C-alpha cells in the first residue's frame, strides 16, 4: 500500500474535525486561530539515513529536513522536539556528545530551541522530530493558478550525488566526494525565504522525495498539468562539471529527493519582485517551468523542446 492510500483510506476522515490538519494533504498542520504551525516527521536508520557512523551529520540532516517543512510554507521554525529510539551503542557517551554538539550548532544557525522529546530503548534506531512555528498565514499546497511560473530555490541533485558516493555507487576525487556528501547531510535550506515567500508564492512544497514527485504532490487536488524545462533546472557547478565529464544524463540526477529546496508557483507578474527578493535575501530562485490546464499533459522537455520520458519520479513510500 502506498503511503497516500493509507492516509486517505484510514486516517483522513479522522482529521475532518481538525480544520488545521488540512485533510492530511499538506506539509504542515496550521491552526489559524492559535497561529500554530506543526510538522511531525520520523526518520529511521536504513531508510531515511544509511547508518549512524556520523551521528552529528545524521542529526543535522534530520533537523534540516524537519524545519524545511515549515520554511517552505513561509513559517519560521521556533521549537523542536526530538524523540529518539536507540540502544546503548547508538546512544553511547561519544555519540550523545556529538548529537548534542550538532544540535547546538543547528540551534544557533537556525534560531530554533530544543523544547522536549523522549528517549526510549530500541534496537532499531529512529528519530521523530516535531517542529513548531507561529504564523498568521501560510502558503498552502494546491493553490497554483493556471499559467503560473514554477520556481525552485537553490540547486537540485547534489544531495543525491552524495548518497551515491556514500553507497559506493560512484567514485570521485576526494574534494568532490566531500562536497556532495556535505550537501547530502547538510542541505542549504532557505531560512531567509520564510519572511518573503508569502509575498509572491501561490502554492509551495519542499522537495524531499524528488522534484517531479513533489511537484505532483503540490498540485494533487488541482486539475492542472505542468511543463518543465530540463535546461533551466538549477544545478551546482560541481554537478554540471561531473555530468559533462562522465556524460551523464541530467534528468537522472535532479529528481531523486533529499534536496530540501523550496518549490513554488507564482503569477507571471511577480517575476520582478521575485528577482528583487532573491537578490536581497541572497537566495537563488530559478524559474523552471509553468502550470498548464488539464487538457495538456504534464511534461518535461529538453533543449530541443522534445519531451523526455521518465521511469521514476522520485521516492515512493510503501508498506
127-135, 152-160, 204-212, 295-303 -> range binding its own copies (CB under 8 A)? 127-135
Task: Tell me whether residue 306 is exposed, middle or buried, using C-beta atoms within 10 angstroms of its C-beta: 0 to 12, 13 to 18, 19 or more.
Answer: exposed
- Please check whether residue 314 is in contact with residue 3, taking contact to mean a CB–CB distance below 8 angstroms: no
Closer of 135 and 242 to its own copies (Cβ):
135
Closer of 41 and 216 to its own copies (Cβ):
41
Q: Which of residues 59-88 bind its own copies (CB under 8 A)?
A: 79, 81, 83, 85-88
Asked if 18 is part of the footprint of its own copies (rule: CB under 8 A), the reply reads: yes
Minimum gap (Å) between residue 275 Cβ and its own copies: 35
Minimum gap (Å) between residue 37 Cβ and its own copies: 10
Closer of 102 and 197 to its own copies (Cβ):
102
Minimum gap (Å) between residue 57 Cβ and its own copies: 17
Asked if 192 is part of the footprint of its own copies (rule: CB under 8 A), the reply reads: no
Asked if 29 is part of the footprint of its own copies (rule: CB under 8 A), the reply reads: yes
Closer of 38 and 281 to its own copies (Cβ):
38
* Residue given cell 533546472 in the structure block: 233
Minimum gap (Å) between residue 173 Cβ and its own copies: 35
Asked if 10 is part of the footprint of its own copies (rule: CB under 8 A), the reply reads: yes
Asked if 230 is part of the footprint of its own copies (rule: CB under 8 A), the reply reads: no
Asked if 43 is part of the footprint of its own copies (rule: CB under 8 A), the reply reads: yes
112-120, 165-173, 212-220, 252-260 -> range binding its own copies (CB under 8 A)? 112-120
Cα distance between residue 220 and residue 95, in whole Å: 41
* Residue from 62, 67, 132, 243 in contact with its own copies (CB under 8 A): 132
100-108, 214-222, 229-237, 240-248 -> range binding its own copies (CB under 8 A)? 100-108
Closer of 207 and 243 to its own copies (Cβ):
207
Asked if 136 is part of the footprint of its own copies (rule: CB under 8 A), the reply reads: no
* Residue from 65, 128, 204, 238 in contact with its own copies (CB under 8 A): 128
Closer of 55 and 234 to its own copies (Cβ):
55
Amino acid at each position: 500500500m502506498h503511503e497516500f492510500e493509507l492516509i486517505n483510506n484510514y486516517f483522513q476522515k479522522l482529521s475532518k474535525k481538525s480544520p488545521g490538519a488540512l485533510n492530511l494533504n499538506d506539509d504542515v498542520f496550521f491552526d489559524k486561530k492559535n497561529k500554530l504551525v506543526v510538522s511531525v516527521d520520523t526518520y529511521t536508520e536504513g531508510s531515511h539515513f544509511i547508518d549512524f557512523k556520523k551521528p552529528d551529520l545524521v542529526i543535522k540532516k534530520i533537523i534540516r529536513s524537519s524545519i524545511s517543512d515549515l520554511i517552505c510554507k513561509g513559517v519560521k521554525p521556533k521549537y523542536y522536539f526530538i524523540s529518539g529510539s536507540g540502544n546503548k551503542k547508538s546512544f553511547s557517551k561519544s555519540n550523545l556528545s556529538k548529537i548534542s554538539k550538532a544540535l547546538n550548532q543547528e540551534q544557533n544557525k537556525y534560531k530554533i530551541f530544543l523544547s522536549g522529546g523522549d528517549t526510549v530503548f530500541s534496537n532499531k534506531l529512529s528519530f521523530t522530530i516535531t517542529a513548531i512555528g507561529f504564523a498568521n498565514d501560510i502558503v498552502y499546497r494546491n493553490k497554483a493558478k493556471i499559467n503560473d511560473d514554477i520556481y525552485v530555490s537553490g540547486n537540485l541533485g547534489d544531495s543525491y550525488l552524495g548518497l551515491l558516493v556514500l553507497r559506493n555507487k560512484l567514485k570521485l576525487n576526494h574534494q568532490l566526494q566531500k562536497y556532495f556528501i556535505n550537501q547530502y547531510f547538510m542541505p542549504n535550506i532557505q531560512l531567509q525565504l520564510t519572511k518573503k515567500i508569502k509575498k509572491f508564492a501561490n502554492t509551495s512544497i519542499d522537495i524531499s522525495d524528488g522534484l517531479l514527485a513533489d511537484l505532483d504532490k503540490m498540485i494533487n487536488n488541482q486539475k492542472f498539468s505542468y511543463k518543465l524545462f530540463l535546461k533551466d533546472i538549477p544545478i551546482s557547478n560541481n554537478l554540471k562539471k561531473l555530468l559533462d565529464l562522465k556524460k551523464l544524463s541530467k534528468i537522472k540526477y535532479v529528481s531523486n529527493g533529499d534536496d530540501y529546496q523550496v518549490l513554488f508557483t507564482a503569477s507571471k507578474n511577480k517575476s520582478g519582485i521575485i528577482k528583487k527578493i532573491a537578490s536581497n535575501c541572497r537566495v537563488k530562485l530559478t524559474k523552471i517551468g509553468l502550470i498548464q490546464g488539464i487538457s495538456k499533459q504534464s511534461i518535461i522537455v529538453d533543449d530541443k523542446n522534445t519531451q523526455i520520458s521518465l521511469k521514476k519520479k522520485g521516492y515512493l513510500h510503501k508498506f
